C-alpha cells in the first residue's frame, strides 16, 4: 500500500549568518522502498528561536500521530527569507513583514515543503491563494520583557537613554509614556540583540517574553511589562502552521494540534489589524483573551510612531468565532474613524 510522504516542516528563521545556505546530503539505502524521501538538510544559520518552534511542532506531531514518531518521518527544512537577510533597515523600508514569509510561502505552494511554522505576529493578514492556516498551538505569554543592565524598569531609565527596538508598536507606547527616552532601530534575532545590548549599542531593549521562554531563557528578562504598560502585538506569543488548502492529510495532522482558544483570539486580533490595514508603518497593538467569566475581553490600540497620538478601545463579548471576528472588526472601525484618513496618510 502506498504511503503518503512524511511532512516536511519549514521554520521561520531569523537573521541567518551571512552567506549561509542549505546543503543536501542523502542517506543511502533509506526510504526508497516506501517511496519516502529522506534527505537531511543542514544550514549555517543563526536562529535558535525558529528552530525551537519548528522542533516543538515536530514533537507535538510525533506525540499525536504514531506514524510520525518513526525515525526520519519528519524533516525540518531551513528557509532563509529576505526579511532575515536585510537587517540594517526598518522593515517598513524594505517591504514590511511579508518579507519574513514570501520564500516560505513559495516553497509550500511549490510542494518543496508540506507545512510551515510561523510566529503568527509575522504573518500578513491575507494568506496567498492555495494556502490555509488550520492550526495555532497553545499561546505562550503575550507580554514583553524589558532587558537592561543598568535599570530595572523603563521608568528608571534617565532622560536621553537609548532603547533598541525595530517595533513601532513598542516605540510608540514607550514614547507616549516616556517622551524623554530615545528609540532606535534594532533588528536581529534574540541572541544578536542581547549581544548588542551587552556591547553598549543601546541602554535597553524589549523582547517578546514568549520567545525567551521558548528558548529556555526567561531569566534574561530584567522585568516583565504588564499588558497595561505595553499592549502586545497582534497574535504575539502564538505559533501558526500553514499547509496547502488541497492537502487533506496535512490539514488532518495539523487540526489535531489546534488550540481553539488561541485560534479564536488570534482571529479576533487579526480582524482588528485587517480593518486598520495595518503595515509596518502603523503602530497597532491588540490583545483578546478569555476572561474569568469565560467571555472574550479585547483591547486595541492605534498610535503615531512618535507616541504623540494614541487611540485605544476595549470590547467584551461571547467567546465564539463569529462574535469575536465581529468584535475585532468593530473595534478596528472605531479606531479608524477616530483617527480619520489624514492620520493614515501621514504614515505613508
Name the burial class of residue 213, with classes exposed (0-12), middle (13-18) and buried (19+) by CB atoms within 10 angstroms of its CB: middle
122 is catalytic: yes
Q: How far apart are CA 150 and CA 301, in angstroms?
A: 30
Q: How far apart are CA 322 and CA 303, in angstroms?
A: 27
Q: How far apart are CA 179 and CA 171, in angstroms?
A: 10
Query: Partners of 24 in the beta sheet?
Result: 41
SS3 15: coil
> All 3 cell numbers of residue 289?
483573551
Query: Partners of 75 in the beta sheet?
Result: 8
> All 3 cell numbers of residue 260?
481553539
The closest of 303, 230, 293, 239 to 265, measured between CA atoms, is: 239
Which backbone phi and psi does 293 adopt, to 5 degrees?
A: -95, 0
The closest of 269, 218, 262 to 241, measured between CA atoms, is: 262
Q: How far apart are CA 331 and CA 114, in angstroms?
A: 35
Which of the following is catalytic: 122, 277, 323, 345? 122
Give the ranges where 9-96 is alpha helix by DSSP (H). 48-64, 82-85, 91-94
- For 332, left (φ over 0), alpha (ψ -120 to 50), or beta? alpha
Q: Which residues are marked as active site?
A: 122
Amino acid at each position: 500500500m502506498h504511503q503518503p510522504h512524511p511532512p516536511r516542516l519549514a521554520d521561520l528563521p531569523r537573521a541567518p549568518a551571512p552567506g549561509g545556505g542549505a546543503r543536501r546530503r542523502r542517506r543511502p539505502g533509506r526510504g526508497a522502498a516506501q517511496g519516502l524521501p529522506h534527505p537531511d538538510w543542514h544550514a549555517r544559520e543563526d536562529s535558535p528561536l525558529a528552530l525551537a518552534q519548528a522542533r516543538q511542532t515536530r514533537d507535538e506531531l510525533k506525540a499525536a500521530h504514531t506514524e510520525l514518531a518513526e525515525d526520519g518521518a519528519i524533516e525540518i527544512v531551513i528557509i532563509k527569507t529576505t526579511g532575515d537577510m536585510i537587517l540594517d533597515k526598518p522593515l517598513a523600508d524594505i517591504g514590511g513583514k511579508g518579507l519574513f514569509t514570501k520564500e516560505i510561502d513559495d516553497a509550500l505552494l511549490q510542494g518543496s515543503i508540506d507545512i510551515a511554522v510561523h510566529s503568527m505576529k509575522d504573518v500578513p493578514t491575507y494568506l496567498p491563494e492555495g494556502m490555509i492556516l488550520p492550526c495555532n498551538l497553545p499561546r505562550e505569554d503575550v507580554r514583553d520583557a524589558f532587558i537592561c543592565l543598568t535599570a530595572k524598569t523603563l521608568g528608571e531609565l534617565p532622560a536621553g537613554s537609548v532603547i533598541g527596538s525595530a517595533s513601532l508598536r513598542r516605540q510608540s507606547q514607550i514614547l507616549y509614556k516616556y517622551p524623554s527616552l530615545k528609540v532606535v532601530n534594532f533588528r536581529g534575532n534574540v541572541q544578536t540583540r542581547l549581544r548588542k545590548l551587552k556591547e553598549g549599542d543601546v541602554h535597553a531593549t524589549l523582547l517578546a517574553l514568549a520567545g525567551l521562554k521558548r528558548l529556555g531563557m526567561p531569566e534574561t528578562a530584567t522585568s516583565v511589562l504588564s499588558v497595561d504598560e505595553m499592549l502586545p502585538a497582534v497574535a504575539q506569543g502564538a505559533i501558526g502552521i500553514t499547509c496547502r488548502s488541497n492537502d487533506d492529510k496535512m490539514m488532518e495532522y495539523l487540526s489535531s494540534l489546534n488550540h481553539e482558544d488561541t485560534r479564536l483570539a488570534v482571529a479576533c486580533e487579526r480582524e482588528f489589524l485587517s480593518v486598520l490595514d495595518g503595515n509596518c508603518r502603523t503602530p497597532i497593538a491588540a490583545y483578546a483573551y478569555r476572561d474569568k467569566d469565560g467571555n472574550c475581553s479585547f483591547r486595541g490600540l492605534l498610535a503615531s510612531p512618535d507616541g504623540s497620538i494614541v487611540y485605544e478601545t476595549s470590547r467584551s463579548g461571547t467567546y465564539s468565532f463569529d462574535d469575536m471576528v465581529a468584535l475585532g472588526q468593530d473595534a478596528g472601525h472605531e479606531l479608524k474613524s477616530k483617527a480619520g484618513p489624514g492620520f493614515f496618510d501621514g504614515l505613508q
